[in-house]
């Protein structure tokens, strides 16, 4: 949308502002804008009604806050206009501020926040089924490979998909943010971490959120750091798994997550001509390859066929 359109939406809801600054556009279609008036800042989130609504986000914001999870306050929800107006938590998301000197501290604080979310009892949210997990992972072969790269996923990819679902079905199921990554974690000046974009919260395998924060889309997979972080998580969490079991939860959660996201971002480009995440695809694929078990034949197929084809495709766009 244009700045003038956002200002008009805000005005209709009683929030007259001087400026509206675009913050980010999400794969879901949500647009985030900073409203500026009298030196005050708020955030307006717009979602076209044809793409969904904010009701689940608003309900979850209230519930998470009641359990002392740091989330933005929702000041207004107008379902007819498709907007919420929220507290502005600032620009210091962990994607922007995490570096080598604060990496361990901020990752540990993020894991503590994740545990806080995981341990909220009796949440009335969707329970991710094996069929839904398989539908998501199938985006890799059906959309990323076939439609975007114009190649057929071979038998080894289908075997990987089946193995991923089998492994995930055996893992502990907990409250799952489903996109617990650095861009959705915001630090205060005192390094208190808040979480945003939690509208997809569900019950799911523990490894999906662990992979979200530890298998970063913008950093190459660091096995030593991941294992150290999982060891910290184990000391704080009630999850009863040994170190090797916890790493396998992370591995298979990361495989499902990265295959799903490669398909999702490819579809976003093809259906909506949104190219803003295409540059992320090579790192997401590299990290997927890096966490695959070494003896899986699909690893060679991804290295020898899929990765070169992705490089070729991106160069042509």
Domain co-membership, 169 together with 276: yes
The span from the CA of 241 to the CA of 205, in Å, is 13
Q: Which domain CATH number covers 178?
A: 3.90.1200.10
Helix (H, G, I), strand (E, B), or coil: what is residue 174?
strand
pLDDT at 143: 98
Identify the residue whose tokens are 């359109």.
Answer: 5
The radius of gyration of the chain from alpha carbons, rounded to an integer in Å, stands at 20
Domain finish residue from 62, 87, 112: 87
Domain finish residue from 87, 103, 123: 87
pLDDT at 27: 80
Domain co-membership, 67 together with 115: no
Q: What is the Cα 32 distance to its own chain's centre?
A: 16
Tell me which residue range forms the domain holding 49: 3-87
This prediction has a pTM of: 0.95
The span from the CA of 71 to the CA of 197, in Å, is 9
Token code pair at residue 69: 């999870």
pLDDT at 29: 87
Q: pLDDT (tens digit, 0 to 9) for every residue of the chain, 317 residues total?
A: 999 999 999 999 999 999 999 998 888 889 999 999 888 899 999 999 999 999 999 999 999 999 999 999 999 999 999 999 999 999 999 999 999 999 999 999 999 999 999 999 999 999 999 999 999 999 999 999 999 999 999 999 999 999 999 999 999 999 999 999 999 999 999 999 999 999 999 999 999 999 999 999 999 999 999 999 999 999 999 999 999 999 999 999 999 999 999 999 999 999 988 898 999 999 999 999 999 998 899 999 999 999 999 999 999 99
Domain co-membership, 44 together with 104: no
pLDDT at 276: 85
The enclosing H or E element of 63 equals helix 55-66
pLDDT at 274: 85
Domain co-membership, 252 together with 185: yes
At residue 45's C-alpha, the angle toward residues 39 and 50, to 5°, is: 155
Q: Which domain CATH number covers 52?
A: 3.30.200.20
Token code pair at residue 182: 């650095």
Domain co-membership, 55 together with 182: no
Domain co-membership, 109 together with 137: yes
Domain count, the chain: 2
Token code pair at residue 151: 């190649």
Domain co-membership, 44 together with 178: no
**Over the range 180-210, which residues count as b (16 or more CB within 10 Å of their CB) and which as e?**
bbbbbbbbeeeeebbbbbbbbbbebbbbbbb
Domain finish residue from 37, 57, 87: 87
CA distances from 52 to 3, 46, 68, 263, 266 (A): 22, 10, 27, 20, 20
Domain co-membership, 66 together with 181: no
The span from the CA of 40 to the CA of 17, in Å, is 9
Domain co-membership, 110 together with 174: yes
């Amino acid at each position: 949308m244009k700045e003038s359109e956002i200002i008009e939406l805000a005005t209709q809801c009683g929030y007259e502002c001087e400026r509206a600054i675009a913050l980010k556009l999400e794969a879901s279609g949500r647009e985030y804008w900073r409203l500026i008036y009298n030196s005050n800042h708020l955030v307006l989130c717009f979602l076209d009604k044809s793409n969904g609504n904010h009701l689940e986000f608003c309900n979850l914001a209230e519930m998470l806050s009641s359990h002392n999870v740091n989330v933005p306050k929702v000041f207004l929800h107008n379902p007819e206009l498709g907007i919420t107006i929220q507290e502005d938590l600032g620009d210091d998301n962990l994607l922007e501020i995490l570096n080598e000197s604060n990496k361990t501290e901020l990752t540990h604080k993020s894991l503590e926040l994740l545990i806080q979310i995981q341990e909220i009892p009796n949440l009335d949210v969707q329970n991710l089924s094996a069929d839904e997990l398989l539908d998501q992972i199938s985006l890799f072969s059906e959309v990323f490979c076939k439609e975007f790269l114009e190649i057929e996923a071979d038998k080894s990819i289908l075997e990987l998909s089946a193995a991923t679902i089998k492994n995930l079905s055996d893992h502990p199921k907990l409250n799952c943010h489903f996109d617990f990554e650095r861009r959705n974690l915001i630090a205060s000046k005192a390094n208190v971490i808040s979480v945003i974009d939690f509208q997809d919260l569900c019950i799911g395998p523990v490894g999906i959120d662990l992979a979200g924060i530890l298998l970063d889309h913008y950093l190459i997979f660091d096995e030593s750091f991941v294992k150290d972080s999982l060891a910290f998580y184990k000391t704080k969490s009630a999850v009863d798994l040994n170190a090797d079991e916890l790493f396998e939860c992370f591995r298979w959660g990361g495989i499902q997550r990265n295959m799903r996201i490669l398909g999702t971002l490819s579809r976003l480009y093809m259906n909506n001509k949104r190219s803003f995440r295409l540059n992320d695809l090579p790192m997401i694929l590299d990290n997927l390859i890096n966490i695959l078990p070494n003896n899986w034949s699909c690893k060679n197929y991804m290295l020898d066929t899929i990765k070169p084809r992705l490089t070729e495709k991106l160069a042509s766009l």
